[in-house]
Chain A
Amino acid sequence: MAIKTEAIGKEWPATTYEVGKEKIGEYARVIGLDSPVYFQREAAKGAGYRDVVAPPMFCVVYSAPALGPAMFDPEVGMNFAAMVHGGQKFEWGEPACSGDEITTTARCLEIFEKDGKGFYVFETNSVNQNGDQVVKGTWTNIVRGV
């Protein structure tokens, strides 16, 4: 069965996420991060950050609202029951800090079939309120038995 590829290149509407101090702390605690730069304003500023700073992988929190509609788009047509998260890449720029408003856009980079599996590759691009690049993500989902 041929895989649907018409969504390649499609972009979805941007979403904006305001980073909050307590949300950063909640995420950091779950990962086992205990540096005060994730919890205390003064410690973060003392380390050269504008405010309490988010751990790099907190990017999944502010990227997700943009990625969700892309992954669930019927035009993409991913079979979620047979899907696994195959790979992930992030490239970070300006750190995300409490109070930042981060705008993320999602785009479908590639859809292809290999060895009976469907590969769906999405890109997210996140920029803060000053126009600084915060993170670029590449998300690879693999669907068995396409």
Chain B
Amino acid sequence: MADLNVGDAIAGLTVTPDKYLPHRYAGASGDFNPIHIDPEFAKMVGLPNTILHGLYMMGLVARSATDVAGGDPKALKRLSVQFRGMGAPETEIVVSGTVKSVDGDTVVVDTVAAQGDNQTIRNAEAEIRV
């Protein structure tokens, strides 16, 4: 495990969800809210098009946080996020973060998920046991 210091950038990740990703996430998660999978319904309720599941993007933030501990799932002890901008399929998502505190083997990381200037997840704070 590389030494982590306050202010260090984490590796983060970049992913472009394809057009059908929300369908696969709906199946995997059980969340079939039509705003994520039906463009006509999404437009009817005032959205520009279907939007990504917030919890899918939180899943990416969690993936990036566990990567800090070499990808071990039990290393992630706590994750809190605020959902802000809506995420769109077929648009690159960049998850980035910095180390906020280090206390023994406990590291707290601040993370953001964004599509361009649109921060879809803000103030994500992950506590990781490294």
Contacts and interface: CB of A to CB of B under 8 A. Distances in A.
Interface of A: 23, 26-27, 29-33, 35, 37-38, 47, 49, 53-57, 60-61, 64, 81, 84-92, 95, 138
Contacts of B54: 85, 88
Identify the interface centre among B25, B31, B59: most chain A CB within 10 Å of its CB.
B59
Contact of A30 (B24, B45, B66, B73): B24
Given A53-B73, A56-B73, A81-B45, A32 B63 contact: yes
Contacts of A32: 13, 15, 60, 63
Contacts of A27: 28-29
Interface of B: 13, 15, 21, 24-25, 27-31, 45, 54-56, 58-60, 62-63, 66, 71-74, 76-83
Given A30-B25, A55-B63, A56-B79, 15 more contacts: A30-B59, A32-B13, A32-B15, A35-B71, A47-B72, A60-B31, A61-B28, A61-B29, A64-B29, A64-B30, A88-B55, A90-B79, A91-B78, A92-B77, A95-B73
Contact of B78 (A23, A26, A90): A90
Contacts of B66: 55-56
Contacts of A31: 56, 59-60, 62-63
Contacts of A53: 73-74
Given A27-B28, A32-B15, A60 B83 contact: no
A89 B80 contact: yes
Contacts of A35: 71, 73
Contacts of A91: 77-78
B50 to A, nearest CB: 15
B74 A87 contact: no
B21 to A, nearest CB: 7
Contacts of A55: 59, 62-63, 66, 73
